[in-house]
Structure 1
Amino acid sequence: MRLSLIGLCFALYSSVSVGQWYESQGVASIINGDNKTAKAQAMQNALKKALLVAGASVSSIQQVVNGLLTQDEISIRASGSVNSLELISENYNDDFVTVTIRADIFPQEKKCFAADYKKSLLLTRSNILHREQANIGNIYAIDRTLIKKLADKIQQQGIYLDTKLALQTKTEFSRYNQSLQTQSLKNLAMSLANMSDSQYVLFSEIQDLSMANDENNDWQFWQKNIYQRQFNISLYIHDGTTGERILDKHYQSSAPWEFDERKQIDVTSHNFWQSEYGKKINLSLDDMVRDIDENMMCQPTQGRIVQVQGNTITFNLGKRHGVQVGDEFSLLHFNNFVSDDKRSYAGFNISPYKVIVTSVSQDSAHATTAEQHVLDNIQINDLAVRY
């Protein structure tokens, strides 16, 4: 049975909207033989659990759950939380019904539980798409300097991110991106996230550093040989767990290039950043920080499980991310599947057990189940999620 959706609005995600599949179970008691009502209640419980784990807000959960109708074809009225919902199975045993659902969920609002924690973001060296444009001023080092400055600004001005840098070598991102090799992009993001112990990966492409053909006499008419120079850049953020792209932003600006075209310019110098061109780039960086922080606010803060011992786990979130003793986490077990149209999706099974943090270090935390259950189905590289 496939469930339908009506009345969805995705205004908050006009650029890139990426949902994530979650599979969960719900249980309800059957009263006076009313299987239909019990089934609807079980589905509501399962969907509510999936929404909470996905980081949806309390209000959006209420909107979606209240929209479930006790009919053969169940409709959902929401404002951007659920993209698709499927009933996988239903089992009746004594006076209880157990259902399993699979939901494709979008983070719905800017106010969310995930905002309590910082996400780790790996910033990679930028790619200059047309390297010959950097020849004027010999500003090839802008690919590293720019990202280092962006990372510093995120640390100083941002709220929801903890940054890491990978600037020594270039990645294959632009080659994959330009040739639309989606799976290679996902694999690259997941590999870098795993190697750097990061939750998300930022790539960027400097798309235009060209000079205008005409002198910019309107800027300072008494000076000659002043030309406008472009600065166009695109940012892409990928989820390190699934490899999927969750943010795609483009920035376009220009400013007078005040330097001699034959002079080599140090892009790390105060002189460069105080020039009109440097100031314009700086303003673009400020815009980037605001956009990144706002868009990453409600992305899930996911800890990768690095050790499982009985009913105790260790995962890679710690004090630097805001984790404290006593915090409660849900556990997600990877469950990739192939849809009816033969497409492969990354999905999760939500464990019925939760864990409570018992100790925390700077970069990791230990947690145990409250009921002392053995976590048989939880494995290394599964996820601990706070909602």
Structure 2
Amino acid sequence: MQKLLRHIVTTIITSITILMPAHAQWYQASGSSFIDSSGKNIAKTRATENALKKALLVAGASVSSVQQVVNGLMTKDELSVRASGIVNGFEIVEEQHQDNVVTVTIRADIFPQEKKCFAADYQKRLLVTKTHIKHREQANIGGIYSLDKQIAHQLNAQLQSNTRYMQTQLALSNTTEFARYIDSFEQNKLKDLTRGIANMTQSQFVLYTEITDLSFDQDATNSWKFWQEKILPRNFGLTIHLFDGNTGESFLSEQYHASSPWTYKYREQVDVASNHFQTSPYGLAINRLLEQAVMDLDESLMCQPSQAKIIHAGETELLLNIGKKHGVKQGDEFSLLHQENFIANNGQQYSGFNVSAYKVKVTKVTQDTATVTTLDGEILGNIQHNDLAVRY
């Protein structure tokens, strides 16, 4: 007992000593994780890791250093730790459990980098499209053809609940030609498709997803129980493709794979939207995989510049398609980009931008739009409708 008290006193004194420098700042962030078969403690650790990553990125840490710092801290026995370097320490300030999700809020004492992630102040607009099942014949067992819509729903729900850096919307009514274009390497058509969808939905980024594997493994998980029907592991493969809606160019592509026992009978038709499926071993494995995909999207987009399209251009005043609900405040300043498209010698079409010398400031803001004017009342030269305003 005395040894424990000495340890607590030493920790407090050390904490006070370390926290003296004025350069360290507190950052608060939340992270969530599904509780699967690995248990609540592992889910809590994943949620804490997610929250710490967000705090580090907002403080200005590079993505490469974030993983190194997080891995170093999360190997500690205690979740409230002290460390040298970029993270002085962090602590859990709130923990919530709801249904099969644990949400952890942490407060981290971080030495910020010279350049902070100012873009994290704004929410990026992301369109989540209907998932494409690459090999539909693999969905025959269980009749899980509606998994294309369900995965998009789950991914969108996780994005909405687990990140404050993206504002998402879901498009399920129409099937796009994405799968055909990407399989046949029709890059120009893919760019045109993406720009068209983004323009129609006022989105900065477009997310396409493909279910690449729903096959079964042949080794039963219960082969020693010879009196039971075989339970075979079923695979789940997912590829996410993130595209820039303004240029139509690929921004991120990641592949994910999971395998878990398929606990349903061979001829049983399965409702993938039911709670029974969501809490089955296979459903939980999918949720865990989507959780990782959301974390990757969060890290990739958090510090990307927020781009707003100019939807009306006057001589000294512009109207932008970004507003209060995206984080814009009166007095915020934007740089302007004039869009130019060109065709290279190989016939490929590319989008380019000329950075304008003008800077503009927000004078009026509504939920969906912002009015900006030049800082000195100067007339805006060649800036026009569909050009971009960017906050770096």
Q: 1:256 aligns with which of 249, 255, 261?
A: 261
Match of 2:171 in 1: 166
Check 1:235–1:342 CA distance in 2 against 1; reply closer, same or farther (3 A cut): closer
Question: Which protein has greater RCO, CA pairs closer than 8 Å, 6+ apart?
Answer: 1
Match of 1:231 in 2: 236
Unaligned runs of 5+ in 1: 1-56, 61-108
Unaligned runs of 5+ in 2: 1-58, 63-113
Query: Per-residue deviation at 1:183?
Result: 1.1
Match of 1:143 in 2: 148
Check 1:370–1:142 CA distance in 2 against 1; reply closer, same or farther (3 A cut): same
Query: Per-residue deviation at 1:345?
Result: 3.0
The alignment partner of 1:255 has SS state of strand
Match of 1:50 in 2: none
Q: 2:203 aligns with which of 190, 198, 201?
A: 198
Q: Does 1:177 align with 2:182?
A: yes
Query: Per-residue deviation at 1:198?
Result: 0.4
Work out the CA distance in 2 between the residues paired with 1:234 and 1:194: 24
Q: Does 1:271 align with 2:250?
A: no
Structure 1, 298-307 or 330-339: larger mean CA deviation? 330-339
Alpha-carbon contact 2:311-2:319 (below 8 Å) kept = yes
Query: Per-residue deviation at 1:380?
Result: 0.3
Q: Does 1:155 align with 2:157?
A: no
Q: 1:213 aligns with which of 201, 212, 218?
A: 218
Work out the CA distance in 2 between the residues paired with 1:336 and 1:174: 25
Query: Per-residue deviation at 1:285?
Result: 0.8
Query: Per-residue deviation at 1:344?
Result: 4.3
Alpha-carbon contact 1:110-1:297 (below 8 Å) kept = no
Alpha-carbon contact 2:60-2:115 (below 8 Å) kept = no
Alpha-carbon contact 1:118-1:159 (below 8 Å) kept = yes
Q: Which amino acid aligns with 1:172?
A: E
Match of 2:308 in 1: 303
Check 1:262–1:299 CA distance in 2 against 1; reply closer, same or farther (3 A cut): same
Q: 1:354 aligns with which of 355, 359, 384?
A: 359
Work out the CA distance in 2 between the residues paired with 1:59 and 1:267: 39
Q: Does 1:244 align with 2:218?
A: no
Alpha-carbon contact 2:60-2:116 (below 8 Å) kept = no
Q: 1:129 aligns with which of 120, 126, 134?
A: 134
Query: What TM-score results when the alignment is normalised by the length of structure 2?
Result: 0.68
Query: Per-residue deviation at 1:158?
Result: 1.2
Alpha-carbon contact 2:223-2:230 (below 8 Å) kept = no
Q: Which amino acid aligns with 2:327?
A: G
Match of 1:384 in 2: 389
Q: How many residues align?
A: 283
Work out the CA distance in 2 between the residues paired with 1:192 and 1:275: 35
Work out the CA distance in 2 between the residues paired with 1:256 and 1:313: 56
Q: Does 1:367 align with 2:372?
A: yes
Could you report, residue by residue, the CA deviation over 1:42-69 in whole angstroms, capped at 9, with x for unpaired residues?
A: xxxxxxxxxxxxxxx9999xxxxxxxxx
Q: Which amino acid aligns with 1:363?
A: D
Q: Identity percentage over the alignment?
A: 49
Could you report, residue by residue, the CA deviation over 1:205-263 in whole angstroms, capped at 9, with x for unpaired residues?
A: 10111122332226977743211111001000000000000000000111000011211
Work out the CA distance in 1 between the residues paired with 2:60 and 2:247: 25
Match of 1:333 in 2: 338
The alignment partner of 1:207 has SS state of strand
Q: Which amino acid aligns with 2:214?
A: L
The alignment partner of 1:213 has SS state of coil
Work out the CA distance in 2 between the residues paired with 1:222 and 1:368: 76
Structure 1, 214-223 or 319-328: larger mean CA deviation? 214-223
Query: Per-residue deviation at 1:195?
Result: 0.6
Map 1:94-109; keep pairs closer than 5 Å. Answer: none
Could you report, residue by residue, the CA deviation over 1:124-154 in whole angstroms, capped at 9, with x for unpaired residues?
A: 0010011111111111111011111111111
Indicate the RMSD between aligned Cα atoms, in angstroms. 2.3
Check 1:340–1:172 CA distance in 2 against 1; reply closer, same or farther (3 A cut): closer
Work out the CA distance in 1 between the residues paired with 2:137 and 2:344: 45
Query: What TM-score results when the alignment is normalised by the length of structure 1?
Result: 0.69
Q: Which amino acid aligns with 1:268?
A: A
Match of 2:110 in 1: none
Check 1:342–1:149 CA distance in 2 against 1; reply closer, same or farther (3 A cut): closer
